[in-house]
A and B are shown apart, each in its own frame.
Chain A
Amino acid sequence: GAVVSQHPSRVICKSGTSVKIECRSLDFQATTMFWYRQFPKKSLMLMATSNEGSKATYEQGVEKDKFLINHASLTLSTLTVTSAHPEDSSFYICSASSGWSRRTEAFFGQGTRLTVV
């Protein structure tokens, strides 16, 4: 099956600093990538959808200047949490899809647990 690698799995950063999370599709070309945030025992909240080479489309209420998403290649998307604060602490998950006509499901990374202290 398709593999999506997300790194790091855990990160602790100081308040006010920025942290970058990488999401890589290892064996397929991801034309679309999704970034989600998951609070404890809650569902996945879609933050943004990015298509390779285009600007990400953010969901209402998600600050695009705070959560910078880059999808510069067909195998890599990054989420940068800028000027992180304790309320940004959460579990972030990426998923990738290779295109509607071929595979419709999205494959998920392992997730990143971000703790801002």
Chain B
Amino acid sequence: AQTVTQSQPEMSVQEAETVTLSCTYDTSESDYYLFWYKQPPSRQMILVIRQEAYKQQNATENRFSVNFQKAAKSFSLKISDSQLGDAAMYFCAYRSREGNNDMRFGAGTRLTVKP
């Protein structure tokens, strides 16, 4: 099964600054999807951004962008102009296009935003 690794258990950023969260994954598949989800204290999972593996262009959603390096199997999330509301757990996820199309998550990174 595919594995997703987030090597930063905790990160901190000053309000209005930029922070990058790291994610790597292991797969033998050539086509798949990658996601970043946010989980605030309410524990409701919220989609932040997604990336199709066959697209070379990095996805962007307002202040959120990714750096997708397919050969390196790396998928980092950059948050620009950080806001207090960005504080949450961030999970990187991999969704397979084969088999059951299951979705697997990394261990998560807890982001703290300092005012």
A interface, CB within 8 angstroms of B: 32, 34, 36, 38, 41-44, 46, 49, 51, 57, 91, 93, 95, 97, 100, 104-108, 110-111
Contact = CB atoms under 8 A, between A and B. Distances in A.
Given A44-B91, A106-B95, A32 B105 contact: no
Contacts of A41: 110
Contacts of A36: 105
B11 interface: no
A57 B35 CA distance: 22
B27 to A, nearest CB: 15
Contact of B44 (A105, A106, A110): A110
Contacts of B95: 104-106
Interface string B88-109: 0001000101001111111110
Nearest to A93: B45
Contact of A110 (B35, B43, B102, B110): B43
B95 to A, nearest CB: 6
Contact of B45 (A49, A95, A100, A104): A95
A42 B100 contact: no
Contacts of B52: 104
A93 B106 CA distance: 16
Contacts of A104: 33, 50, 52, 95
B100 A57 contact: yes
B49 to A, nearest CB: 10
Nearest to B4: A43
Pick the most buried of A32, A42, A44: most chain B CB atoms within 10 A of its CB.
A44
Contact of A43 (B42, B100, B107): B107
A108 B100 contact: no
